[in-house]
């Protein structure tokens, strides 16, 4: 889907997608009956309704598969964001407890990385100009690893804490990769084509029905329901773009927690 659509308010995006299904379907129904004026016997209508049931069932299964797939991807992206933010928060506390100059330097690297996610990487994931992309965040991650490498434990307790710090650092890298991967993955164009073609084919058998008010309502209802699922798939396809996108608040809470720690006990 074009990226500019996701920057529209959600009601405009939804209305546009629903209209793109309802208007062509109803217009096609009217044109067929006003210009072509076909006459179908009961056998033709029965066959058309049978095809409608078959195609609609297959298309419903396809739409359900796509909807579940994009929803799982959305949840995975949301989970990666939350897990990375929690890991950064825990890592910053471990480094603060360690308290040595190299540990405090590493903690500042963690703070800088968290800020870079909010100020730079998030823009890139949203498709907004001004972001530095994954490369900029990768540099911050490398600096964190180098800073942690310079930490030398001075006691058994610090040595145990250093093991925990390394575990948190590796977890941070893991969740970062999951987040970046989720931001780059989208529904392939071939699948969009199949979904759209299936939706159109499920509406075509309705053209054999007489041009009555009830049948027009049936065309609107079927195209509306197809458009709703299509809208859901489109919204979930890009988890970091649009009004319904994943929020960067977990990282904001991480920075807030670091600032609270710096202020000391109250």
Tens digits of pLDDT across the chain (266 residues): 677 788 788 889 989 999 999 999 999 888 888 877 767 777 777 887 788 788 878 888 888 888 888 888 899 999 999 999 999 999 999 999 998 999 999 999 999 999 999 998 988 888 765 445 555 678 999 999 999 999 998 889 999 999 999 999 999 999 999 999 888 888 888 888 888 888 888 888 888 878 888 888 988 998 998 889 888 888 888 888 888 889 999 999 999 999 988 886 54
> Domain residues for 103?
3-260
Question: What's residue 135's pLDDT?
Answer: 54
**Is 103 within the bounds of a domain?**
yes
Residue 248 lies in a domain: yes
In a domain, 228, yes or no: yes
Chain-centre distance of CA 136, in angstroms?
22
CA–CA gap between residue 221 and residue 137 (Å, rounded): 47
Answer whether residue 164 is part of any domain.
yes
**Nearest to 169, CA basis, from 135, 197, 141, 201:** 141
Residue 9, token pair as written in the block: 């308010």
User: How confident is the model at residue 49, as a pLDDT?
Assistant: 78
Task: Answer yes or no: are the C-beta atoms of 183 and 84 closer than 8 Å.
Answer: no
CB 229, CB 54: distance < 8 Å: no
> Which runs of consecutive H residues, i.e. helices, occur in 150-212?
156-184, 189-203
Q: Quick one: pLDDT at residue 92? A: 95
What are the counts of helices (DSSP H) followed by strands (DSSP E) for the chain?
10, 0
Number of compact structural domains in the chain: 1
For residue 265, tell me if it sits in a domain: no
Whether 59 maps to a domain, the answer reads yes
Q: At what angle do helices 213-237 and 10-31 cross, to 10 degrees?
A: 140
CA dist., res. 118 & res. 87, Å (int): 16
What pLDDT sits at residue 130?
A: 47
Residue 157 buriedness (CB in 10 A; 0-12 / 13-18 / 19+): exposed
Q: Is residue 237 part of a domain?
A: yes
Place of tokens 């409608």: 52
The encoded tokens of residue 87 equal 């890991």
- Cα–Cα distance for residue pair 179/183, rounded to 1 Å: 6
- Does residue 266 form part of some domain? no
Question: How far apart, in whole angstroms, are the C-alpha atoms of residue 172 and residue 49?
Answer: 55
């Amino acid at each position: 889907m074009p990226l500019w659509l996701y920057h529209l308010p959600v009601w405009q995006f939804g209305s546009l997608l629903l209209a793109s299904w309802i208007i062509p379907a109803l217009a096609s129904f009217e044109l067929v009956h006003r210009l072509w004026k076909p006459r179908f016997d009961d056998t033709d209508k029965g066959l058309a309704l049978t095809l409608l049931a078959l195609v609609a069932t297959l298309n419903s299964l396809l739409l359900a598969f796509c909807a579940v797939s994009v929803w799982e991807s959305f949840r995975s992206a949301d989970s990666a964001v939350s897990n990375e933010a929690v890991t950064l928060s825990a890592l910053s506390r471990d480094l603060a407890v360690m308290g040595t100059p190299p540990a405090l330097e590493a903690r500042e690297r963690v703070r800088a990385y968290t800020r870079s996610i909010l100020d730079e990487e998030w823009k890139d994931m949203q498709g907004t100009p001004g972001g530095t992309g994954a490369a900029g965040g990768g540099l911050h991650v490398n600096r964190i690893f180098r800073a942690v490498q310079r930490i030398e434990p001075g006691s058994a307790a610090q040595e145990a804490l250093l093991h925990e710090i390394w575990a948190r650092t590796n977890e941070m890298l893991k969740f970062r990769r999951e987040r970046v991967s989720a931001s780059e993955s989208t529904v392939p164009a071939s699948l969009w084509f199949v979904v759209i073609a299936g939706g159109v084919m499920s509406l075509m058998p309705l053209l054999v029905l007489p041009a009555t008010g009830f049948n027009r309502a049936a065309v609107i209802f079927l195209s509306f329901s197809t458009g709703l699922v299509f809208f859901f798939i489109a919204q979930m396809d890009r988890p970091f773009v649009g009004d319904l996108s994943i929020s960067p608040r977990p990282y904001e809470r991480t920075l807030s927690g670091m600032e609270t720690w710096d202020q000391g006990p109250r």
